[in-house]
Structure 1
């Protein structure tokens, strides 16, 4: 019984009850004031004295205005409390997601290490175990880097300096790394810039953050594309900017979710057959990195099972810089 009544002690419930009490108090006060005014006016009418303006309605209106300010203040507290509640839930979500994501590679690393210690493993199989262990370690490092960069960008404490970057070369390097990891499961195609424009694909940015940006987008394309699917990437030359595109022919995204996917911890509800691991931070970090570089990021998709294309626009340097 007591557990069912706990909601009454919640700050939001208390704020709602306080607003109701203020509203009732205001109603009773105004009703009493009007009734008393009518009684006083009736009494005054029986006395032969000149009528005077008491200014009662001015006082009443001032009281109503003050009461309005009190109600607005309570509403603002209510909104602040709801926001705090959402932040707390988001923190719980990241702890749950990150903990789950950390457990999986750690369990794999421990399993491979114990197998090699306790069993006489042939050299060929030992190499396979070591390769898998290295991949799980890289996955673990990537998750840790994502969490750290997310916190750093959110607090505006990025300490890494920006420099002149060849965007085409940076994207090519990220693309080749992902292709080396998943090349036997997916088809990869990269579109290079024309050699005539080789001096025009430089930007001013943070190479470490940009590498994480493209690695996250390419990794997402692989995750949400079935085996045998096609992953395409390249750089398009615009008037004052460079536009990176990363395209897949995978599961696609419904149009009403295209903007929501960049929210922190937001994950699209999908059917039970499709279980994709993730912390819910990847695309949020991508958006933060793009904002750090004063660029734009957006996604386009024709719907479910019709693939997705992510676009990143970054301001390019003059060819003569």
Structure 2
């Protein structure tokens, strides 16, 4: 049994797309060689047979043989193309998996190292009560950061496989965005300015949508997190909600580093990063905006970005279908 398993492992390379491609080429070459050799050896007999046939039958027979050869060649070329495309796709998936592993591993190490450092400091040193509370608060923040990273990876995988099973309910979009702004203001309010506003309305359900509150909350958190990362100290981050007919539009704007117009559509791709000359390296898993795009797609909405160029800030717009009690 063990010998069979070892033999199967050794022969596994035969099933690799590149191996199949090479074998297909060899088989095609052998087939052509056998075909030509057979024709040469039987050429005299074939010529004698052709001379006995009527002219019309001869020409039609040649066309049949030519058509059969073309069909056979077409099938072989299609098979080789499918194998080539499958190999390219497999290669891209492998690279993506390596990128996921590398990015997530790096992002996990940072909060884990901080949590360990704070825990060791509290355990091994005689820390005053006030300092102890500071370390515990920092440990809690790093734990929350770790939880958000894990959630982002899980939600990204779930949305990509179309297996999101969380129920959609009526959600107050304005309230959700306001809560996200307040959380970020508590975390980064000393080094960034946060400004949230909305137009007053007499309609109670003006800012309601049907959606997944957990996913929508992550959508706004990721957009705000992105704004914080690409805005310098003292920068301004603004947000608001407006009603546009049957849609509700949410905008999150910053006055940070901005994006070149040619890159605006690329930023929602997984692991896409814009190369910058800045010495400051922006940390992240490369999944944030990709997850945002998937969440908006899940809600049948629109997500787009706008920037006038480098160092001119970036604006993100989310449009979702407005809830109507008449539906």
TM over 0.5: yes
- How many residue pairs were aligned? 313
1:41-89 residue CA offsets vs partner (Å, 9 max, x unmatched): 97689x7985452312211221221221111111111101211111111
Segment drifting more, 262-271 vs 144-153: 262-271
Of the candidates 129, 152, 158, which is equivalent to residue 164 of structure 2?
A: 158
How far apart are residue 161 of structure 1 and its match? 1.4
Q: Kindly tell me: are residues 204 and 72 of structure 1, through their superposed partners in 2, closer, same or farther at Cα, counting changes over 3 Å?
A: same
What is the aligned-residue RMSD (CA, Å)? 2.8
CA distance in 2, matches of 1:152, 1:109: 28
CA distance in 2, matches of 1:49, 1:214: 80
Contact residue 108 and residue 133 of structure 1 kept, 8 A: yes
**TM-score, normalised relative to structure 2:** 0.85
CA distance in 2, matches of 1:184, 1:241: 34
CA distance in 2, matches of 1:39, 1:249: 85
SS in 1 for 2:57: coil
1:144 aligns with 2:153: no
Q: Kindly tell me: are residues 199 and 319 of structure 1, through their superposed partners in 2, closer, same or farther at Cα, counting changes over 3 Å?
A: farther
Contact residue 218 and residue 246 of structure 1 kept, 8 A: yes
1:131 aligns with 2:137: yes
How far apart are residue 158 of structure 1 and its match? 2.3
CA distance in 2, matches of 1:311, 1:246: 7
Q: Kindly tell me: are residues 158 and 52 of structure 1, through their superposed partners in 2, closer, same or farther at Cα, counting changes over 3 Å?
A: closer
1:194-242 residue CA offsets vs partner (Å, 9 max, x unmatched): 2345432111111111001100100100011111111011112111100
- For structure 1, the residue ranges without an aligned partner over 5 or more in a row are 1-7
Contact residue 187 and residue 229 of structure 1 kept, 8 A: yes
Match in the other structure for 1:115: 121
Segment drifting more, 204-213 vs 55-64: 55-64
Match in the other structure for 1:3: none
Segment drifting more, 115-124 vs 218-227: 115-124
Segment drifting more, 156-165 vs 305-314: 156-165
